[in-house]
Amino acid sequence: MNIDEKTLARILFQLKVLSSNGQAYEDLFVNVMRRESSDFAPVKPQGIFGDRKNDGYNRKRGAYYQVFAPEDPKLKQQVAVKKLKDDFAGLKAYWDTVTPVREFHFVFNDKYKGAFPTMEADLADIKKEHHLSDCSSFLAQHLEDRLMSLPDDQIQAVVGFIPDPSKIQMLDYSIVNDVINHVMLYKGGINTAQIFSVPDFDEKIQFNGLSPRVGALLNSAAYQAGILDEYFALNSEFTKQSLRDVLSNMYQSALAKPLPIISSNKSDLVFFDILDGVAPDQTQAVRNAALVVLAYFFESCDIFEDPT
């Protein structure tokens, strides 16, 4: 699959995550995990004994998974914390005699909202108390990472038919626009009125021959680039890598374009060419959000050159 097809596959998978609760999410989890590793074994409930607090495990690694997928994760904080403690106690008591418990993963359908701090603290306590090699939450973003690491045919087997992106009209499905929408909706939008100076930026701006005007735009937007750290923390690695690839390709494409006769600053032209590609919509709100995206990847040197 190309990047557009994989982006559509990601969206289809996220729709499954957002609409799956309880057993439906457990089935989705098992479907992905079995395709990722032949060592993963799901556990079916057995009459009055149930599954002994184990929804699936990797025999070789001694890694156990317990699924919790409430309809509204925000309303189930206390339930989630109590469940992970009770589930681990029950799991340890029975399954440690079958295959020693070396890892415990609390599979929580957070619907891309993140884990609760108290949940993470309790998992850390369990890890320390029982000397586990790993004890952590397994969120929707982690399941998406497992899915996107599979061969194309296996991804399609999970998400279903993937339409041809070239035949989709009037539908905005790209990762670039997904990220821009996130930035625009973050706490009332973006304000680039005040100019901030970021020392690392100054060196990169000068090294790449960008004008003071472009430098001011990047410095201002860089102050808010942390918004993207929050976005990437709740999404799969595929999301960040794909966006990095898109912007890098835009940069290389802009570099290859001929320099207009009337222009004296190739670097500025490259910058605004990328900005136009990211935000063809000329509204100020969209372009401000796009500037934050460019500043984020400018800092990481995925677009323009690293002075070192």
Q: Where are the domains of the chain?
A: 3-159, 174-299
Residue 58, SS3 per DSSP: strand
Q: Could you tell me the pLDDT band of residue 36, with boundaries at 50, 70 and 90? A: very high
189 pLDDT exceeds 90? no
Out of 71-80, 92-101, 198-207, 232-241, least confident range: 198-207
Calculate the alpha carbon distances from 97 to 67, 92, 101, 236 in Å.
21, 8, 9, 35
Residue 260 CA to residue 87 CA, distance in Å, equals 66
pLDDT of residue 174: 64
Bigger pLDDT: 104 or 176?
A: 104
With 0-12 / 13-18 / 19 or more C-beta atoms within 10 angstroms meaning exposed / middle / buried, residue 100 is exposed
SS (H, E, C) 147-186: HHCCCHHHHHHHHCCCCCHHHCCCCCCCHHHHHHHHHHHH
Task: Say yes or no: domain 3-159 is CATH 3.40.91.
Answer: yes
Helix, strand, or coil here: 72? Answer: coil
**Angle in degrees, 0-180, between the axes of helices 140-148 and 237-256, rounded to the nearest 10:** 60
Q: pTM above the 0.75 mark?
A: no
CA pair distance 293, 278, nearest whole angstrom: 9
Residue 40 has pLDDT above 90, yes or no: yes
pLDDT given at position 235: 84
